[in-house]
Amino acid sequence: MGRRKLKKFSENATRTNVIQSGKELFQKVKGNWGALYFKNDHPVVLELGCGRGEYTLGMARLIPENNFIGVDIKGDRIWMGSAAADHEKLNNVGFLRTQVQLLDDFFGLDEVDEIWITFPDPRPKKSDIRRRLTNSRFMEIYRRLLKPGGRVHLKTDNEQLYQYTLELVTGLPGIERLQCTEDLYQSTLINPVLAIKTHYEKKFSNQGFAIKYLTFVFR
């Protein structure tokens, strides 16, 4: 492992806005994000596979009355988001270093208000369907963690993932207020939060890919 990566990991270990293995809060935060971390009872919003945390940070700037948690397993990526949050003194931001399939270990039933999945790896191979963040197994995790009426968002440039998710969601029980578009920036759904652009979205847009979006709530 290179020196730069080791330095980032060392800094993550001392940052209060990074919750990871080895820290006391890592074992205690489930069901207690408001009380133990944010010190308030504001809505909790997750970004899964947050990478550098660009979307998490963008939402936190726009909606200071909500609490935002970026989730990713890559410590060097989380380092970037946590450094920016520290620099900007964004107290409504936290970063959880874990795998998405372990969300049940860190969030209690009905603890989350919204979940954002922004430009995930589309996992195009059929053998990788179980790893797609919008497959049925993950959807059941999201249903458990979200409050009744909790919302899920997907932004992607990938047509296959978009169509796969749309077909899956359409067949799930208890889905309401489904909205979707194959070209977000030409649709009536666009708003300041949806207009946040990560590094990858800018890259895909510049290559001519239309941005797909869908959202729904669990009853």
pLDDT of residue 5: 76
Catalytic positions, please? 121
> Does the structure show a pLDDT above 90 at 83?
yes
Q: What is the pTM of this model?
A: 0.95
Average pLDDT, the chain: 94
> Does the structure show a pLDDT above 90 at 30?
yes
Q: Cα(154)–Cα(147) distance, rounded to whole angstroms?
A: 18
Tell me the domains of the chain and their CATH numbers. 3-218 (3.40.50.150)
pLDDT of residue 1: 61
Q: Under a CB-based contact definition with an 8 Å cutoff, are residues 36 and 28 in contact?
A: yes
pLDDT of residue 4: 74
Which tens digit of pLDDT belongs to each residue from 106-148? 999 999 999 999 999 999 998 889 999 999 999 999 999 999 9
pLDDT of residue 68: 98
181 strand-pairing partners: 213
